[in-house]
A and B are shown apart, each in its own frame.
Chain A
Amino acid sequence: MLIRSKSSNDLTENHVTDESVYKDRRQLLKKMGFVGAGALLAQSQSQAFSLFGDDDDEKAFEQRALKHTKSTIYTTDEKLTPEFKVTSHNNFYEFGTGKSDPSSNAQQFKVDPWTIKIEGLVEQPVELGYDDLFSAFDLEERIYRLRCVEAWSMVIPWIGFPLSKLLEKAKPLSSAKYVAFDTLYDPKQMPGQRSRFVGGGVQYPYVEGLTVEEAMNPLALMSVGLYGKTLPPQNGAPIRLVVPWKYGFKSIKSVVRIRLVSSEPPTTWKRLASNEYGFYANVNPAVSHPRWSQARERRITTGGLLDRNRIPTLPFNGYADQVAHLYRSLDLRKFY
């Protein structure tokens, strides 16, 4: 007979961490209140200590290729921002305020089914489902510059259709003066909406707006993809606005509702800090943000720390020919 003596440090089956607990370990840590201490220890935004990777417990969001034509008008020969930077350096506070938070927290985001409604002061309210987003209009690739209010910029090949086509479908009434956009409100899926600490103290849902004239400008794009594929969640899947002559925060993500209204909608950043962010938010090198200059920007492409990427910022982000006429009667210092 074999007599097995157990030493005190032998492990038995019941010491094994349950798989569900193992897979849920980050959630458990959060529940146990280690987040504060963790945030303190973490070298924010740097990866110096993440030697063990983060890739073992989450499958990346699945993108699929999109049929599209390439625009010959809306393009540029500037160097593109590499795809991995477009999809890993994001401001999407619904998934956390760190630049890499959205790409790490949004991979399980559900985009199908999806409904986007166009309503308010319209003759014919419109509702599009997930499949309609890719079939209701011809999809076109446009290469736009994106200028963030934080003074960095990217060059991105979007895929989408003009916002004007979508609005025309709903036939806006003449009493409609503004267009208001809402991001999905779903605290279950969006940790930033659950906790004001994760979401940066922003009031959700995120709301953005344009004047009807701005919305009907051919530059205003509803995007459903980038780099030839459907949008990943961190970039605003399944459908987002892209208004390239305005600071990035105007280009609202994951839109569920578009309302035609008669007065200026209460837009999110203006509500949060109206001395820093205005309703118009046109890219303007002559008007500083109260805390930094907007005269120049750092263009994010390839190249690391030593890259000389500081370039002058252009009025309306270089799209003055297409949009400057919209603001002829407006004092852009006052209406920033």
Chain B
Amino acid sequence: MRLKALHILLIKVVIHLAALTPVLLTYWQAVNDQLGGDPVKAIIHFTGLGAVKLLLISLAITPLALRFKQGLLINVRRLLGLYAYFYAVLHLASYLIFELQFEWGLFIKEIIERPYITVGMAAFIILTSLALTSTKSIQRKLGQIWQKLHNWVYLAIILAVVHFYWSVKSGILEPAIYAGLTIILLSFRKQKLSLALKRRAKNKQKLKK
């Protein structure tokens, strides 16, 4: 069966519900002190992991669309990416508002001094620039540059997983699962990535000459 516009619309409705309901429910529980001993940590963990999961799902769309010849499926990619960014915004905002409780000086210092936070921040900046350039009109205006810019999502997911791995005290099972999924999803882009790397190497050689 080939997916039609109506199916895509339905999938989008499901994505909205599946992405928003847990956020509302979890923040509601946290505000009312029903989220275990430390609601702040729970919220930060929930939003951060949510961002990684959504980003991974968004990266699975293209391979799925190609494999099952569902061209229209590509239309849900942006929505998933934007929800991943939404979770990332909540993650960072919750860290500043609830963990550091607006200690701005420390916020800046931690971003600069703690490597795992620096890495997370780098992923966040990439996602911000992708979110800001996600509208159709900007996509048209940027042309080829747009695709180049949005290829940075591959780096963003790697940085996000490194950030997660680095943040846990010990025990690598959970980060390892996400790292594994990342590798699988990136392996579908093997050609694209190796081509880009080769081109870069060539450019460098040219510059040397």
Is the pair B29, A48 in contact by a Cβ cutoff of 8 Å? yes
**A124 lies within 8 A of chain B by Cβ:** no
Given A43-B46, A308-B101, A97:B170 Cβ within 8 A: yes
Contact of A305 (CB < 8 Å), options: B31, B172, B173: B31
Residues of B within 8 A of A (CB): 21-22, 25-27, 29-43, 45-46, 49-50, 98-101, 103, 106, 109-110, 114, 116, 166-174, 177
Stretch of A64-72, A179-187, A210-218, A290-298 contacting B (4+ beta carbons < 8 Å): A290-298
Is the pair B177, A305 in contact by a Cβ cutoff of 8 Å? no
Q: What are 21 A-B contacts with C-beta separation under 8 Å? A: A43-B50, A44-B46, A45-B35, A45-B36, A86-B37, A88-B36, A97-B169, A97-B171, A99-B41, A152-B41, A197-B171, A200-B169, A200-B171, A291-B116, A296-B103, A298-B99, A302-B33, A304-B30, A305-B35, A305-B39, A305-B98
Which chain A positions have C-beta within 8 A of B106? 293, 295
In Å, the complex CA distance between A93 and B173 comes to 14
Q: A44-B45, A290-B114 are in contact. List 13 more A-B contacts (CB 8 A).
A: A36-B173, A43-B22, A43-B50, A46-B26, A48-B25, A48-B26, A85-B36, A200-B170, A292-B110, A304-B35, A305-B39, A305-B43, A310-B101
Which chain A positions have C-beta within 8 A of B43? 46, 305
**A100 lies within 8 A of chain B by Cβ:** yes
Is the pair A100, B171 in contact by a Cβ cutoff of 8 Å? no
**A52 lies within 8 A of chain B by Cβ:** no
In Å, the complex CA distance between A36 and B50 comes to 17
Closest Cβ neighbor of A298 among chain B residues: B40
Query: How would residues 273 to 294 of chain A score, 1 for a CB under 8 Å from any chain B CB and 0 otherwise?
Result: 1000000000000000011110
Is the pair A48, B22 in contact by a Cβ cutoff of 8 Å? yes
The winner among A36, A200, A302, A305 for most chain B CB atoms within 10 A is: A305
Given A43-B26, A292-B110, A305-B98, A300:B38 Cβ within 8 A: yes
In Å, the complex CA distance between A22 and B32 comes to 34
Given A44-B45, A45-B45, A46-B46, A201:B33 Cβ within 8 A: no
Closest Cβ neighbor of B99 among chain A residues: A298
**A128 lies within 8 A of chain B by Cβ:** no
Query: How would residues 4 to 44 of chain A score, 1 for a CB under 8 Å from any chain B CB and 0 otherwise?
Result: 00000000000000000000000000000000100110011
Distance between B148 CB and nearest chain A CB, rounded to angstroms:
32
Count of inter-chain pairs, beta carbons less than 8 A: 117
Which chain B positions have C-beta within 8 A of A39? 173-174, 177
Contact of B170 (CB < 8 Å), options: A90, A150, A272, A303: A272
Is the pair B22, A298 in contact by a Cβ cutoff of 8 Å? no
Given A292-B110, A305-B43, A305-B98, A201:B37 Cβ within 8 A: no
Distance between B113 CB and nearest chain A CB, rounded to angstroms:
8
**A166 lies within 8 A of chain B by Cβ:** no
Contact of B42 (CB < 8 Å), options: A40, A46, A150: A46
Closest Cβ neighbor of A150 among chain B residues: B169
**A323 lies within 8 A of chain B by Cβ:** no
User: Chain A: how many interface residues by the 8 Å CB criterion?
Assistant: 43
Contact of A40 (CB < 8 Å), options: B29, B38, B109, B177: B177
Tell me whether chain B's interface is mostly helix, strand or loop, or mixed.
Answer: helix
Is the pair B172, A201 in contact by a Cβ cutoff of 8 Å? yes
In Å, the complex CA distance between A308 and B168 comes to 25
In Å, the complex CA distance between A272 and B30 comes to 32
Is the pair B103, A44 in contact by a Cβ cutoff of 8 Å? no
Distance between B40 CB and nearest chain A CB, rounded to angstroms:
6
**A47 lies within 8 A of chain B by Cβ:** yes
Is the pair A49, B22 in contact by a Cβ cutoff of 8 Å? yes
Is the pair A47, B29 in contact by a Cβ cutoff of 8 Å? yes
**A270 lies within 8 A of chain B by Cβ:** no
In Å, the complex CA distance between A202 and B170 comes to 8
Which chain A positions have C-beta within 8 A of B116? 291
**A306 lies within 8 A of chain B by Cβ:** yes
The winner among A273, A295, A310 for most chain B CB atoms within 10 A is: A310
Given A39-B177, A47-B29, A291-B116, A305:B40 Cβ within 8 A: yes
**A89 lies within 8 A of chain B by Cβ:** yes
Distance between A223 CB and nearest chain B CB, rounded to angstroms:
19
In Å, the complex CA distance between A90 and B21 comes to 28
Distance between B122 CB and nearest chain A CB, rounded to angstroms:
16
In Å, the complex CA distance between A47 and B169 comes to 22
Distance between B105 CB and nearest chain A CB, rounded to angstroms:
11
Which chain B positions have C-beta within 8 A of A304? 30-35, 39
In Å, the complex CA distance between A291 and B174 comes to 19
Find residues 234-275 in chain A having any chain B CB closer than 8 Å to their own CB: 272-273
Which chain A positions have C-beta within 8 A of B31? 304-306
Distance between A234 CB and nearest chain B CB, rounded to angstroms:
11
Which chain B positions have C-beta within 8 A of A48? 21-22, 25-26, 29, 46
Is the pair B37, A85 in contact by a Cβ cutoff of 8 Å? yes
Given A48-B22, A291-B114, A298-B38, A303:B174 Cβ within 8 A: no
